Structure 1
Amino acid sequence: GQDTEHRLHTLSRCQCLVSTCHIYKYTFIKEKMRWKDAQMYCRTNHTDLAILFNGPDEKRLRQSAGNMDEPEAWIGLYHRQPSTRQWHWSLPEEKFHEDDTRWDTDEPNDGGQQENFFCSTCKMCFSHEACSSVYSAGKQNCSIVHEEKKWREAQIHCREKNRDLISGIKQLEEFTVTESQKKKMWIGLFRDKWRWSSGNRFNFRNWESDQDETEGEKCASIQLTGLKKWKSADCQCLVSTCHNYKYTFIKEKMRWKDAQMYCRTNHTDLAILFNGPDEKRLRQSAGNMDEPEAWIGLYHHQPSTRQWHWSLPEEKFHEDDTRWDTDEPNGGGQQENCVIITRDKKWIDLKCDKKNEFVCCDETNVSFLFNL
């Protein structure tokens, strides 16, 4: 593999017309939801969260949005850990087939899972480094861009000129280079962990910047103002700027209901915890907890159904957000209806009239997001 930070010359080609059309109608839902809830809503009332096959799809999506004040919206692209990276061609119409590859010896070697772009290397067989031939009136219509760029910069450069990085083995093999043109160049082969909600293996991406795929679950949003690119965000966000909860540990022991009242009076509510950034911020604010446990804002008030709720009414509870300790929740004979967090950040259900220290939260940076 080649260092993806290298700035290399670029192989580009004109974008072909789509032979098989994917015409999607896009509908904007002006209700703030987390990505998973938005997906469920769309599958119930429409087909799915928005998928984008190519540039024209994205253009039609933006046209359907009109002059919206909201800065961004969910689309149906996501990745989870663990997840395998899949190779794609930059040109949306071109499908990647493993049988067609021409890897060099010991490639791809991943480079510590950091090498996600393919740099062609000139050898006796010129199939890798050749530029595609796109025929117009019997003439080749392609070019080698003699500017050194990173892969993402090269892709943006080509697309800004209504072209794309060369994509597909057939296109590569049809074009030849002169002896003086033999050098390392980027082609349109890349890989990532992102998947479409619909299950389609569409390869179109329009990221604002390279994506860090070492983190946990992420979902994609599309910017409707500014750079008008795609961004990755915590899937638990309800809004374009997430509910960035600030956590405060209260070193006074109270029953759960009294702790709830204290937090609602002096902060926002008892602590709400989702995956990712919330949990990280709580750890940072906790430091070394003096007590082994503290109340958070999770409870249920109907022991027979055991349906859990967050203290903050607007927040929906999702079972896949939980961090239950082993054999929890056990109910305690339907008597344990409130939840504490332990020093090692596990959850345990307890009787609500037990006195514990507790964690309050404050909402910051709230702005609305509408969902596709």
Structure 2
Amino acid sequence: MRADIIITLKLQTETSDSGQKHTTSKKWTKLCFSFFFSLRQYHFINERKNWTEAQRYCRENYTDLATVDNMNDMNELKKSVNDKSVQLVWIGLQKTGRDKWQWSSGEPALYLNWATGQPEGRDYCGMMLNGQWEDLPCNSAQHFICNNTNTGLILVNQTMNWTDAQRYCRQNHIDLVSVRNQNENQQVEQFISDRNLSGSWIWIGLFRVRDSWQWSDQSDSSFRYWKSGEPNNAGGVENCAAVNQSFQGRWHDTSCTNQFSFVCHEDFDSELILIKENLTWSEALSYCRQNHVDLVSVHSEEIQRGVMNVVKRASTAAVWLGLHNYCIMNMWLWVSGEIVCYHNWAPGNGTTRENCSLENRKGAVQSGGDQRWISLPESHKLNFICSRY
């Protein structure tokens, strides 16, 4: 789990004039620092079960068999295993035979807009045709779209295979374009139409990952910690993953019918509470601090996913977050004190000077659609999300 902490420094430059110092300039400097911590709680169950029995136990008593997102999660999981005599411990990773799709940028493909009958399953690279996606052989030569930080979308008027297109975008711009939601899909479709290429196959940054391992809770985590030489599918029956304490917690594939102890996790969703009362932002803040911990701060994509899961049950079109516009410093802040580094603003929202002179603006998340963040007058009465973390 990544979170961002901000140190805000007030810098002033002083010069000497006849031995006296005076301030010549003042500036707020905002620095984002990232650190990792686990928002999952791991529970070691020292009972021997096969993988399916362990999965059932975890789902009945916690959230699921353990999912691991990063090395910090892995360290927390290893700490939870308090019986060092146990060698192999089940986690929630199982071979499914299904490959996964992700973006060239490394993001998992959560939003998918396949045309009817697609993907066919034979090809490993994705393209757009009339706003919908199809899979094509990666060696097919097509036009493609890059992302550029300064100019936005760039249509490259050359045909290349997918790998060469990716290399071109990374060398000359940022990367092949990612299409992460319906709004971005419409923008890319319109961009193609404006250049008279409707009806053409256009590479986007979508590709199929040859990794048929899937987490029990359907997480998109691509983190793997295999021991050297694993997974090796010895005997053709090793379809489940276990932590091997004899090899610094590295993973082995092994038969799912073996009986081992196991680790469950409780997901961060259980730390988020949707309150279906309609309160102003300030009233919601007071409620959360009196009854739980705080209005939720969304420091990362993982926390945003948790918010997206709970906000679907809201009775208002938007739901308050712990996000406020601090006009004096020309920035958005979380109630926990951090500046907004990770963000999920809807287009036209989140500008720092947004209506500062007229009314205080606070941040909310849409309960429908793409569940983007929007800014609203704090006097609006909405449902809200408290955090117990």
**More RCO (CA 8 Å, sep 6+):** 1
TM-score by length of 1: 0.35
More strand by share: 2
Structure showing greater Rg? 1
